[in-house]
Every structure is written in structure tokens, then in C-alpha cells.
Amino acid sequence: MKEGKENNYKLCYENLCREFDKYNPEEVAKKSGAYYDSEKKQFTLTYFNKEYLISYPKGSIVLKDDKEKDLSMDENRMLIHKMLILSYLYRATNSSLTNKWVPFRELEGVGHAYHGFAKIGIDKLVKFFGNKGELFLKAGLKLGGKKVDVGDIGIEITVLPNVPMTFGLWIADDEFPADTTILYDCSAVKELHVEDLAGLCSLAADEVIRVAELI
């Protein structure tokens, strides 16, 4: 079963790569905030505070600094990240931020089918951070985030150049259990497909937790 799933991810990624030559690289760079080197035929894109190199038109993706590679990440998870990067490059519009922050369920075009994906990310954060407010803050800052006024501790992280996310943690106490929220700027739906934004809630939670485990 796992092998079949891996093959599905690989096929989806390969299909996305085949679409790349339909896009003008200069336009992609302008709309996505990536840098395009026309001589090397290569994009440089910052994703979760790491620089990735994306070849054009092949679509192969590698970390610019191999020392930042997460050796614990399995092939499936890496393929999911790569698909999200390509989806962003294809869809990004460089629309202006609205500065109106909403939970995933309130984004335009979100259907009930995707709600569970966003909740998975929230549940992961609650389970791991519960009463570890200081660790939550440190992990967010390590990812290039900045402190914001959401919950007891809030962090805004620019996951992709046009897609900031805000994470808020309410620390558990004697009266109330821990809670978290994940917020998007309303413009996010113009930069990534709703399905990708749903999955990003869980991916982002995993990334914050991964960084926290290294502190």
C-alpha cells in the first residue's frame, strides 16, 4: 500500500513537472517572488525559511544548502513539499495582502471536504506544544517568523513569498485546555489552490514541530 501511495505522489509530481514549460519563467518569477537565473535556467525560492533551487523547464527541486536537508523526511513527504512548491509557482499572482486574517474554513471557496485537513494541523500543534509556549515561540522565530498578537503567543511565518501564515497558541492552564489557531491572509486563495492551503496547515504544523524538536 505504501509503495502504491509513493508511486501516486511520484506520478503527480512528474505530471506537474511536465506542465512547467507552458509557463514563461520571467512571468513566474515576477508573480511568485522567486528569483530566476536565465543563464542557469533555475529559480531560487524561499520556502519555510530555506532556499530551494528549481530547474526550468524540468522542475527538479533541491535545497540550495544541502546541510539544511532533513534526513528524517521520507520520500512521500518530500514529494508533497515539491508538489506544493510547483503548484505555487504555477498559480501565484502576487496579489496584495489584505491584512484580513481568517481561519482556513473562512477562506473563499473552501468546501466542507477540506476542513479535516486544517484540523489535523491544529490538533498536532495542540498535542505537541500544550503548555510549551516558549518553545513554540523559539520554533517560530527559527523559521523566520515574527511575534504577533494572537492567542497567548502568536507567530507570523512567511511560508512562501506571497503566503504568510499566523499560528496562535493558548497555553493550557488549570481552567482551560491548550488550543491553537492557524490563520491565512484572505489573499492566500489567489496564490495557492484551496486544496494546497488545506494540506499546508498540516505541513506547516509538522515543520514548526520539527524545528522545536531540534531546539
Tens digit of pLDDT for each residue in 164-181?
999 999 998 888 898 999
Q: Residue 157: what residue type?
A: I
User: What percent of the chain shows pLDDT beyond 90?
Assistant: 66
144 burial type by CB count under 10 A (0-12 exposed, 13-18 middle, 19+ buried):
middle
Q: What is the DSSP letter of 106?
A: G
Residues near 24 by beta carbon (within 8 Å), at least 6 away in sequence = none
DSSP of 166-188: EEEEEPP-SSS--EEEEEEEGGG
Residue extents of the structural domains in the chain: 2-91, 101-213
pLDDT over 80 (residue 83)? yes
Rounded Cα distance between 32 and 50, Å, is: 16
Residue-wise pLDDT for 126-146, tens only, equals 999 988 999 999 999 999 999
Look at residue 185 and give its three-state secondary structure: strand
Summarize the confidence of residues 14-36 as an average pLDDT.
Answer: 94
Domain at 101-213, CATH from 1.20.120, 1.10.357, 3.30.70, 3.30.310: 3.30.310
